[in-house]
Structure formats: structure tokens, C-alpha cells
């Protein structure tokens, strides 16, 4: 703790009534001492007190008359009233001026003024009959690095994806011996400026059933290939839902559909991988697909080897997941570099997470984290049994 100046120290103890009293008035970094005598203290024509002294006020001391040659003791200067006062911006005695962010504050009485000397703040009021002080210091900078506000209290069923920059899309023509869709091109850098949460798993039948029971969500499609109302499929992903039903469910949960950019970052991370699990060719240990001789969907999260860098599951299979954006084939050629939210309008909505059941295609052909497509929000141009939901939420 830095030593207090002799001036500040005098503010920490009661001041006795003596023949020579000093009231310190520091304003705007300057010091003005008014000598109060036990004799005549009537103001002169200038409105200031007549500098008279009586008693034992030694020349050269603080608050006392200057020496005859206009000088004072060390650390003091002679002011216009021929009284000795501290150098402005400095402390007196054997203390040096304070630096940094440490301040010393004293408060007394009922009225007074505030001033600063150097980086030390001194407040004197009234008759200085009592004083208190508080010294605080800080060496840290309040600025933060980056724009990530932090993950916050992430819900148990969600995963945090910190704000970050990543390569979205790809410029490859061939990957794993299969042609890359032109919709995935070109590769371009994207920055998401807000941390967000995403459901670790796709929305299940039992999840959706609660919303329906409360008469918030509409019935999904039923019948062959659909999971609604089928025994032992409560923990399978809900399917047969259109874009509006998916949006309504997420909003009922206090969430929303993810943007394409949010979905892709959550699926592939920032290292440029092509699949959620890396660049290795997918196997039936990574994904749920009819190509793996599975019968339709499987319990969500049943392929942990297919987890994304953030731990999200089934980002490459089980069902296709609706996104919030409108869809245009060539959107990547005009996409903003920061927080893209898709085209301003359109007739289709974007969807992600391919290699769904009922698509009998080699599992290496689809399932890339970069793969994208768009469908009618009312399921008029896609098999409804492959469409499901995953929600997102901006971190508070």
C-alpha cells in the first residue's frame, strides 16, 4: 500500500483548534491555502481573507508565511498570498507523487470541495473534525478480447458454440470420389459474432408430443415411414414436420431455428473438416442411414463416433434438419462475411444434415457438413419422412 503524503495524513486524524488553523481547498489539481487567524479575518477588497497570523506558525512551514526571500521548506512553494503551500500535482514530506489507478479519499464534515493532486484524490469538508479514507487500486484492463460474450448457463440438452470465424462451404470439385454440389461453393470466410447454443440431439417424438399435448404444435404426418404414434420410437427424431411446424416448436421452447451458418459451424468447427467427425470416409458407426441396412431412423445420439467438434450428434444423418434461412443456389457468391442470415426472400427454405433414411445413396456421397439444399416449407418437393428439427438459441 503506498504511503500517504503528509497532507493526506493530516486528513486522517481530528484537527485540534490551534492559533494557526489550515483549511485545504484543492480544486482542479491546484492547491489554495487560506490562513485563518485568531485575529481579524474580515475579507479584504478582493474577497479573500487577509493573511494574518498569530501564535507559533513557523516561516517556511506549510500554511505559514514564506521566508523573506520568497522561499519555503522542501516540497513547498510560496503562493500569491505569501503563504507556503504544496507543489500542485505533488505530495509533501517523504512521499512521492502517486501513480496508476490507486486513489486516496478522505471525507469530513458537511460542506467542502474536491480536488486532485497527481492521481491522488483528496476531499476535505467543513471543519475537518473527522476523516475517513479508502484506498483502492486496479491493474486490470476492463476491455475484453474478441466478441464472445461467454457460454453462460447452457441448458442440459444443448451445447455451446462460441462466436468464431470459420470457412463456410468448399471450393472442391471432388471429395471422397464423389462430385461436390455447386450449391456448396465457393469456400468463403464467415464470422459469427454471437455465441449461441444448439440442441445436442435432434428433437424427438416425445419432445414434440409435449408441445402437441399443450395444443401449441400441430400434428406431424403419420403412417408408413413416420415415427409419430409408433411404439418404441419415442426417442427417435420427430419426422414429417414442415418448416412452419419446426419453427413453431422451437419458439415454444424459447428457441429458434438455426441459420445455415450457425448449423455449419456447429457441424464442422473451425478446422475446415468436411464431415462432423473429420475428413475420414463415413461408416455406419458414424451415421444413421438406410445404406447401413437400418430400418428408418434410430434413437437420437446412437452414433457417438459421428459427433461434431462441439459434441453435437447426428449432424450427418438420421433426419434432415430445417434451418431458418431462405434458400438460393448461388447465395454463397453474395453472402455477407459477418452473421449471414440467408437471402431476403425466396420460395424454399434451407435444410442440413444429409444421409437420411429412405435415401438409398452411398453414405460417402452426402453427409458433408458443407452439403446444403432447399425445399418447399410445406414439403411439396421432398419426402416428408426425412424432415426433422434441431433448435438453436442465442446465448444470453
Please state the three-class secondary structure of 352-373 as a single string.
ECCCCCCCCCCCCCCCCCCCCE
At 364, the pLDDT band (50, 70, 90 cuts) reads low
- What pLDDT is attached to residue 2? 39
Residue 326 has pLDDT above 60, yes or no: yes
- What pLDDT is attached to residue 55? 53
Q: Which residues pair with 349 in a beta bridge?
A: 326, 375
What are the pLDDT digits (tens) for 157-183? 999 999 999 999 999 999 988 889 999
Least confident span in 98-107, 176-185, 262-271, 295-304: 98-107
CB of 277 within 8 A of CB of 242? Answer: no
Burial class (CB in 10 A: 0-12, 13-18, 19+), 263: buried
Highest mean pLDDT among 31-40, 171-180, 203-212: 203-212
Least confident span in 18-22, 305-309, 340-344: 18-22
More confident residue, 131 or 362: 362
Distances from the Cα of 64 to the Cαs of 4, 27, 35, 47, 278, in angstroms? 22, 20, 8, 20, 81
- What pLDDT is attached to residue 356? 54
pLDDT mean across residues, the chain = 76
Q: Which residues pair with 197 in a beta bridge?
A: 160, 393
Residue 135 has pLDDT above 90, yes or no: no
d(CA 205, CA 213): 12
What's the rounded mean pLDDT across residues 294-299?
Answer: 84
- What pLDDT is attached to residue 88? 56
Residue 229 has pLDDT above 80, yes or no: yes
- What pLDDT is attached to residue 361? 57
Helix (H) or strand (E) segment spanning residue 260: helix 260-268
Residues 6+ apart with CB under 8 A from 180: 170, 172, 173, 174, 368, 370
Read off the pTM: 0.63
Residue 209 has pLDDT above 90, yes or no: yes
Residues 6+ apart with CB under 8 A from 251: none
What's the rounded mean pLDDT across residues 299-328?
Answer: 96
- What pLDDT is attached to residue 119? 39
Residue 250 has pLDDT above 80, yes or no: yes
Q: Which domains does the chain have, with CATH numbers?
A: 1-139 (no CATH), 158-394 (3.90.1580.10)
d(CA 301, CA 315): 10
Least confident span in 78-82, 111-115, 150-154, 259-263: 111-115
- What pLDDT is attached to residue 349? 98
Amino acid at each position: 500500500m503506498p504511503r500517504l503524503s503528509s497532507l493526506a495524513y493530516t486528513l486522517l486524524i481530528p484537527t485540534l483548534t490551534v492559533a494557526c488553523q489550515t483549511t485545504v481547498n484543492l480544486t482542479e489539481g491546484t492547491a489554495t491555502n487560506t490562513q485563518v487567524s485568531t485575529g481579524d479575518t474580515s475579507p479584504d477588497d478582493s474577497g479573500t481573507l487577509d493573511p494574518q497570523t498569530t501564535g507559533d506558525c513557523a516561516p517556511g512551514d506549510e500554511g505559514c508565511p514564506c521566508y523573506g526571500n520568497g522561499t519555503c521548506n522542501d516540497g513547498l512553494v510560496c503562493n500569491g498570498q505569501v503563504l507556503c503551500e504544496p507543489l500542485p500535482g505533488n505530495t509533501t514530506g517523504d512521499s512521492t507523487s502517486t501513480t496508476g489507478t490507486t486513489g486516496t479519499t478522505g471525507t469530513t464534515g458537511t460542506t467542502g470541495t474536491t480536488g486532485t493532486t497527481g492521481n491522488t484524490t483528496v476531499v476535505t469538508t467543513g471543519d475537518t473534525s473527522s476523516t475517513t479514507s479508502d484506498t483502492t487500486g486496479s491493474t486490470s484492463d476492463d476491455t475484453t478480447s474478441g466478441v464472445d460474450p461467454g457460454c453462460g448457463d447452457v441448458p442440459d440438452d444443448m451445447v455451446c458454440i462460441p462466436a468464431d470465424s470459420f470457412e463456410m462451404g468448399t471450393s472442391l470439385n471432388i471429395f471422397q470420389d464423389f462430385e461436390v454440389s455447386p450449391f456448396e461453393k465457393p469456400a468463403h470466410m464467415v464470422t459469427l459474432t454471437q455465441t449461441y447454443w444448439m440442441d445436442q440431439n435432434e428433437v424427438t417424438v416425445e419432445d414434440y408430443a409435449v408441445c402437441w399435448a399443450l395444443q401449441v404444435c400441430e400434428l406431424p404426418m403419420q403412417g408408413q415411414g413416420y415415427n409419430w404414434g409408433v411404439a418404441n420410437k419415442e426417442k427417435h427424431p420427430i419426422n414429417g414436420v414442415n418448416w412452419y411446424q419446426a419453427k413453431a416448436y422451437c419458439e415454444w421452447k424459447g428457441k429458434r431455428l438455426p441459420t445455415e451458418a450457425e448449423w455449419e459451424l456447429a457441424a464442422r468447427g473451425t478446422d475446415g473438416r468436411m464431415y462432423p467427425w473429420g475428413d475420414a470416409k463415413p461408416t455406419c458407426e458414424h451415421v444413421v442411414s438406410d445404406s447401413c441396412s437400418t430400418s428408418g431412423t434410430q434413437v437420437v445420439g446412437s452414433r457417438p463416433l459421428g459427433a461434431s467438434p462441439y459434441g453435437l450428434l447426428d449432424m450427418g444423418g438420421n433426419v434432415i434438419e430445417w434451418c431458418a434461412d431462405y434458400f438460393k443456389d448461388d447465395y454463397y457468391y453474395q453472402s455477407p462475411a459477418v452473421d449471414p442470415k440467408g437471402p431476403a426472400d425466396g420460395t424454399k427454405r434451407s435444410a442440413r444434415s444429409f444421409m437420411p433414411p429412405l435415401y438409398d445413396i452411398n453414405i460417402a456421397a452426402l453427409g458433408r457438413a458443407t452439403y446444403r439444399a432447399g425445399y418447399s416449407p410445406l414439403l411439396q418437393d421432398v419426402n416428408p419422412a426425412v424432415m426433422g428439427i434441431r433448435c438453436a438459441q442465442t446465448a444470453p
